[in-house]
Amino acid sequence: MDIKTINTSAFAGQKPGTSGLRKKVTIFQQQHYLENFVQAIFNSLTNFQGKTLVVGGDGRYYNKTAIQTILKIAAANGFGKILVGQNGLLSTPAVSAIIRKRQAFGGIVLSASHNPGGPQGDFGIKYNISNGGPAPEKVTDEIYQHSQTISKYKIIDSPNIDLSQLGINKIGNMQVEVIDAIADYAELMEELFDFSAISKLFSSGFTMCFDAMHAVTGPYAKTILEQKLGATIGTVVNGIPLEDFGGGHPDPNLTYAHDLVDIMYGKDAPQFGAASDGDGDRNMILGQSFFVNPSDSLAILAANATLAPGYKDGLAGIARSMPTSEAVDHVAESLKIDCYETPTGWKFFGNLLDAKLATLCGEESFGTGSSHVREKDGLWAVLFWLNILAVSKLSVEDIVYKHWAKYGRNIYSRHDYEGIDSELANELMENLYHTFSSLKGKKFGRYVVEYCDDFSYIDPVDHSISQNQGMRIGFQDGSRIVFRLSGTGTEGATLRVYLESFEPDTTKHHLDSQVALADLIKLADKIAKIKDYTGRDKPSVIT
Ligand code: G1P
Ligand code: ZN
């Protein structure tokens, strides 16, 4: 066995963000860059000798190259076994499911989620712990510390593994098993949802379009929707994973999932539309010419959870990220269960799920999930909706309106200003924070400021504190404006402005959210001086 110790020096900025380390492919391609970070991950871990690691990615450019390197570093560091998805593919929720099912020590996910791919695109690497979820901040902080002091890494000199063939290989003393990327995940979905009801729905002529956006969910969706549930062949579009996602931006929203939007808003649209992102953890749900806001989707899944066999005994609690609308809070209140408000990012849900304080969780950013894994899960959300559609026999639109009639509507929108100057973005946030001392009690038209703060969170399980998680302005009528800077971008800064207003009046439920939120949108600009700082007169993405 030929273990080599390679001298290296630290790269600045290997700091994991909201969801792992994300950088341009060209940065990862620098000599030692990936190796350093992988070794930093292993240096932050203890007691992994002889244990199993799950490795896979969303198939983007550099995925296969990075996997070969990771396998050799893992072998040199003493892992006993690696489970790697066939062709290097594993969706993020599948990694989580496999870690849990096979009781692995942890996993490495190679993805930059919804960011574009290709030689000029983005790449990313994220470490998941033994509960199947993203490493919590204390682990990512340690990885970062190690990355900043690293001086050598270990690697085995051995030929590449053929990732296209299922079966067991060896690197040094370590086994590398190439596994079916879909089987474990599909089995878990069958346990959670009423596959026979959904099959009947499809056999009765129900129509659907699933846009895999040339990303990782293509093979998963084809197997589960078309082969197992009997949806018509062709239900899954853009179903072949491509290294550059066909040149697209694999983010399932109204702007980037345009193929699906054209179909669902066109003539003879199918009854149900859905899309998932690069690594399969996000979802967008559409009816015929009808968009379901992700915050509403979470609330609707919570309200109807007992229709799915996996949740028939009800929910222990619900968790949502702070900027996510309070729609699900109304459901929690009516179910008399707790609703937790966490900072942005899935890693904050892990403790709540592990401690069984929450069963369902979600974010406004097209992420929904549950205790079945420790990641958000795109296809899971789609199957959950199919289960509800199959049992309720209502249309997507009817389900949403019925929900609003019962709980009221939290009219919601997010405005993103992408690729703005980082310094100006920080100044905007600082200036905003300085206005807070004089903002409380101030009246702007019908809006009176009730509170404003920089959100911080104390984890109810391990009592860790996370500060500076976004600026909140809450108004007396329950409306909110939240300002955050993205932690996942790779170029400049992205300002996110989250807008929400509660509307109990059913005669106003049909209103377009941009129209209904117009005053709040103007107010956000007035308070934060968005146009002045960014030089932009409109957001680049509205969801
Ligand atoms: C974004 C979303 C956040 C999500 C994350 C990873 O992070 O806002 O909800 O968890 O992507 O998918 P951000 O760029 O806002 O830091
Ligand atoms: Zn993702």
- Ligand 1 within 6 A of 490 CB? no
What would the DSSP string read from start to end of 15-72? --BBTBEEEEHHHHTSTTHHHHHHHHHHHT--S-TT-EEEEEE---TTHHHHHHHHHH
SS (H, E, C) 493-541: EEEEEEEEEEECCHHHCCCCHHHHCHHHHHHHHHHHCHHHHHCCCCCCE
Across-strand partners of 282?
A: 367
Report the amino acid identity of residue 506: T
Residue whose CA is closest, atom 2 of ligand 1? 365
Q: Tell me, yes or no, whether 398 and 421 share the same domain.
A: no
SS3 string, 107-120, reads EEEECCCCCCCCCC
Of 480, 479, 483, the residue nearest 471 (C-alpha): 483
Looking at residue 382, its pLDDT comes to 98
CB 114, CB 277: distance < 8 Å: yes
- Distance CA(502)–CA(204), nearest Å, equals 38
Distance 489 CA to ligand 1 centre (A): 9
488 lines ligand 1 (CB under 6 A): yes
Separation of alpha carbons 190 and 210, rounded Å:
18
DSSP state of 231: P
* Ligand closest in space to the Cα of 215: 2
- CA 380 to mean position of chain CA atoms: 12
pLDDT at 488: 75
Ligand 1 atom 5 nearest Cα: 345
Quick one: 352 and 481 in the same domain?
no
The CA-based diameter of the chain, rounded to the nearest angstrom, is 73
Per DSSP (E only), the strands in 228-271 are 236-237
Q: Is residue 410 within 8 Å of residue 324, measured between CB atoms? A: no
Both 11 and 33 in one domain: the answer is yes
Which ligand is closest to the CA of 362, given by its number? Answer: 1
Locate 100 and state its tokens.
Answer: 């849990």
Residue of 249, 363, 366 to test ligand 1 pocket, by largest number of atoms within 8 Å of CB:
363
Do residues 240 and 214 lie in contact, with contact meaning Cβ atoms separated by under 8 Å? yes
How far is ligand 1, taken at its centre, from the CA of residue 420, in Å?
A: 17
- Look at residues 361, 388, 407 and tell me which one is the last residue of a structural domain: 407
Q: Is the CB of 77 under 6 A from ligand 1?
A: no
DSSP state of 452: E
As a whole number of angstroms, the distance between CA 524 and CA 452 comes to: 13
Q: Is 346 in the pocket of ligand 1 (CB under 6 A)?
A: yes
pLDDT of the chain, 543 residues: tens digit per residue: 689 999 999 999 999 887 799 999 999 999 999 999 999 999 999 999 999 999 999 999 999 999 999 999 999 999 999 999 999 999 999 999 999 999 999 999 999 999 999 999 999 999 999 999 999 888 999 999 999 999 999 999 999 999 999 999 999 999 999 999 999 999 999 999 999 999 999 999 999 999 999 999 999 999 999 999 999 999 999 999 999 999 999 999 988 999 999 999 999 999 999 999 999 999 999 999 999 999 999 999 999 999 999 999 999 999 999 999 999 999 999 999 999 999 998 889 999 999 999 999 999 999 999 999 999 999 999 999 999 999 999 999 999 999 999 999 999 999 999 999 999 999 999 999 999 989 989 999 989 999 999 999 999 999 989 888 999 999 998 899 999 999 877 678 999 999 999 999 999 999 999 999 999 999 999 999 999 999 999 999 898
Question: How does strand 21-24 pair with strand 338-342?
Answer: unpaired
Q: CATH code at 477? A: 3.30.310.50
How would you classify residue 213: left for phi > 0, otherwise alpha for psi between -120 and 50, otherwise beta? left
For residues 257 and 225, the answer to whether their CB atoms sit within 8 Å is no
**Same domain, yes or no: 236 and 325:** yes
Tokens of 465: 């504190």
Question: Of 407, 425, 445, which residue is a domain's last?
Answer: 407
Tokens 């990732």 belong to: 163
* Three-class SS state of 93: helix
- Residue with the smallest CA separation from ligand 1 atom 11 is 488
Q: Compute the distance from residue 17 Cα to the ligand 1 centre, in Å.
A: 9
> Which residue among 181, 206, 239 closes a domain?
181
- Residue 268 is predicted with a pLDDT of 94
Contacts of 378 (CB under 8 A, 6+ apart): 91, 93, 217, 252, 276, 277, 280, 281, 282, 283
Q: Give the tokens for residue 85.
A: 């998805």
Choice from 15, 19, 92 to test ligand 1 binding pocket (greatest atom count within 8 A of CB): 19
Nearest-ligand number for the alpha carbon of 111: 2
Domain match, 351 and 450 both: no
Q: Atom of ligand 1 at shortest distance to CA of 494? A: 14
Shortest-distance Cα residue to atom 8 of ligand 1 = 365
Ligand with an atom nearest the CA of residue 213: 2
Q: Find out whether 161 and 71 touch, Cβ atoms under 8 Å.
A: yes
Give SS3 for 195.
Answer: helix
Give the tokens for residue 323. Answer: 């900027």
Is the shortest distance between the CB of 92 and ligand 1 below 6 Å?
A: no
Cβ neighbours, 10 Å, residue 355: 14
Show the domain range for 286. 185-407
| 294 CA → ligand 1 middle, Å | 13
Q: Is the CB of 486 under 6 A from ligand 1?
A: yes
Q: Are residues 163 and 189 in the same domain?
A: no
Are the C-beta atoms of residues 182 and 219 closer than 8 Å to each other?
yes
Looking at the structure, tell me whether residues 144 and 214 fall in a common domain: no
Does ligand 1 lie within 6 Å of residue 365's CB atom?
yes
Domain count, the chain: 3
Active site amino acids: 113
Whether 176 and 221 share a structural domain: no
- Cα atoms found within 13 Å of the Cα of residue 110, Cβ hemisphere only: 33
CA-nearest residue, atom 15 of ligand 1: 486
Determine the pLDDT at residue 314: 96
Residues 67 and 126 in one domain: yes
Q: Which pTM does this prediction carry?
A: 0.93
Residue 233 has φ and ψ, to the nearest 5°, of -60, 135
Q: Whose CA is nearest to atom 3 of ligand 1?
A: 345
Examine the domain organization and report whether 398 and 460 are in the same domain.
no
In order of 22, 52, 76, 100, 172, the CA distances from 81 in angstroms are 26, 5, 12, 15, 11
Residues 65, 18, 462, 144, Cα dihedral to 10°: 60
Which residue do the tokens 């007035």 mark? 526
Q: Evaluate: CB of 469 within 6 angstroms of ligand 1.
A: no
Looking at ligand 1, which atom is closest to the CA of residue 484? 15
- 324, 295 contact by CB (below 8 A): yes
Indicate whether 376 and 430 sit together in one domain: no
Whether residue 113 has its Cβ less than 6 Å from ligand 1: yes
Q: Which of 365, 412, 416, 494 to mutate to test the pocket of ligand 1 (most atoms within 8 A of CB)?
A: 365
Q: Give the distance (Å) from ligand 2 centre to CA of residue 488.
A: 11
The verdict on 28 and 162 lying in the same domain is yes
CATH number for the domain spanning 139: value is 3.40.120.10
Residue 520, strand partner residues: none
